[in-house]
Amino acid sequence: MSLLQVKDLVVEFPHRRGTLRALDGISFDIAPGEILGVVGESGAGKSLTGAAIIGLLEPPGRIASGEVWLHGARIDNLTPEAMRRVRGRKIGAVFQDPLTSLNPLFSVGQQLVETIITHLPLSPAQARERAIQLLGDTGIPAPEQRIDHFPHQFSGGMRQRVVIALALAAEPQLIVADEPTTALDVSIQAQIINLLKSICKQRGAAVMLITHDMGVIAETCDRVAVMYAGRVAEIGPVHEVINHPAHPYTAGLMACIPDMSEDRDLLHQIDGAMPRLNAIPSGCAFNPRCDRVFDRCLHDRPELQGAGPTRAACWLHAGASASVPGVTP
């Protein structure tokens, strides 16, 4: 059974000249203990998808249609108060900049203890003991002393570990990690990636990892969803999507990665840019930038369809059929 199910999710932003559709029919599943990577250019809708799932859409943004199910219970239609009880207890979040996630006026111990007491039936002493354990589990040295330190007394990598400890404080079933390694240097990135992988293995938590880095996806994830212009362009096992991309956009992303075995003067690039929300072309949104475009791409919008072991929203695979576990058709 899937832990998280997102079904035909549509997010809109009303404004005085009409309505902008930022997410247009997003569907995917995540199983317990699985890491699903969500990748794409800036503006593809990656972070917005995560915000919609955890109920942190900024007004006037709203979920116009679709459903989000967590462990068999629908959560997209909960009241704000009910969603606050879900957020933290059942869904943890790790954001890009740990300084914006931590209150500089309180020690990390105060913030951890408050979170634990809010969601778990523990006394302050028991919550502090659990907080020390969480700091130790996430690789903070001397957690008994560091628990009383303030965020500015930690390095960037250590602050991100504190944020992960906060996300794990109430033993959530799902962790939404939005660009958790972008602000860190390469060596610290590797440590955070290994930490996320061990969390999945040891605790059975599912992780939705949002990133623009295909290297992080390759090292961390079990499956990957490639997003473009508010839709899923391709989804499937990481090794298949990376080595045998079925969508021209995915193929373009992979071609942009330098190959250390080749000596090239110029790197490949995808011509053009992500379309604005008020100027998404008809048919396939990628058609102005696609080097394999044909007439049907200009008029009919493709849905996700079987493309071998993956699913791709591309008319090149029309008529193909495949059953890919963990993907909502």
Q: Is the pLDDT of residue 321 over 50?
A: no
CA-closest candidate to residue 224, choices 326, 72, 91: 326
Asked if residue 70 is part of any domain, the answer here is: yes
Q: Which residues, 6+ apart, have CB-to-CB distance to 114 below 8 Å?
A: none
167-211 pLDDT per residue, tens:
989 889 999 999 888 777 777 788 888 888 888 888 888 999 999
Mean pLDDT in residue range 293-317: 94
Contact 201, 214 (CB under 8 A): no
Examine residue 263 and state whether it is found in any structural domain, yes or no: yes
Please tell me the predicted confidence (pLDDT) of residue 25: 95
Residue 53, both tokens: 């799932």
The residue type found at 242 is I
Q: 């400890």: which residue's tokens?
A: 165
Domain range enclosing 30: 4-90+172-317
C-alpha 242: how far from chain center: 18
In terms of DSSP bridges, do strands 223-228 and 305-307 run parallel, antiparallel, or are they unpaired?
unpaired
Q: 104 in a domain, yes or no?
A: no
The answer to the question of residue 156 being in a domain is no
Please work out, in degrees rounded to the nearest 5, the angle formed at the alpha carbon of residue 121 by the alpha carbons of 120 and 123.
110
- Tell me how far apart the alpha carbons of residues 116 and 88 are, in angstroms, rounded to a whole number: 9
| Strand-strand pairing, 174-178 and 91-94 | parallel
Tell me if 137 is assigned to some domain.
no
pLDDT attached to residue 326:
42
Which range among 19-23, 137-141, 325-329 has the greatest average pLDDT?
19-23
Write the single-letter amino acid at 161.
R
Alpha carbon 65 to chain centroid, angstroms: 20
Q: What's CA 130's distance to the chain center, in Å?
A: 27
Alpha-carbon distance of 108 to 135, in angstroms, equals 10
pLDDT at 206: 93
Residue 253 to residue 247: CA distance in whole angstroms: 10
**If you search the block for the tokens 């298949």, which residue do you land on?**
240
User: Residue 94: helix, strand or coil by DSSP?
Assistant: strand
* Nearest partner of 207 among 312, 198, 8, judged by Cα: 198
3-state DSSP call for residue 20? strand
Mind listing the pLDDT tens digit for each residue in 28-79? 999 999 999 999 999 999 999 999 999 999 889 999 999 999 999 999 999 9
* Model pTM above 0.75: yes
- pLDDT of 324 > 50? The answer is no
Average pLDDT over residues 266-286: 89
Calculate the average pLDDT of the chain. Answer: 90
Q: Does 247 have pLDDT greater than 70?
A: yes
To the nearest whole percent, how much of the chain has pLDDT over 70? 96
Mean pLDDT confidence for 151-160: 91
3-state secondary structure 201-262: HHHCCEEEEECCCHHHHHHHCCEEEEEECCEEEEEEEHHHHHHCCCCHHHHHHHHCCCCCCC
Report how many domains make up the chain.
1
- CATH number, domain containing residue 61: 3.40.50.300
Q: Residue 303 is encoded by which pair of tokens?
A: 């849905």
Q: Is residue 30 part of a domain?
A: yes
pLDDT number for residue 319: 65
User: Is residue 310 a contact partner of residue 240, using CB atoms and an 8 Å limit?
Assistant: yes
Residue 192 is assigned to a structural domain of this protein: yes
- 239 is a domain residue: yes
The Cα 188–Cα 182 span in angstroms is 10
**CA-to-CA distance for 285 and 275, rounded, in angstroms?**
8
d(Cα 5, Cα 319) in Å, to the nearest integer? 26
For residues 309 and 262, the model is more confident at 309
What pLDDT, in 10s, does the model give residues 97-144?
Answer: 888 889 999 999 999 999 999 999 999 999 999 999 999 988 899 999
Query: What's the rounded mean pLDDT across residues 218-228?
Result: 94
Q: Is the model's pLDDT at 282 over the cut of 80?
A: yes
What lies within 8 Å, CB to CB, of 107 at 6+ separation is 147, 148, 149, 150
pLDDT for 297 beyond 90: yes
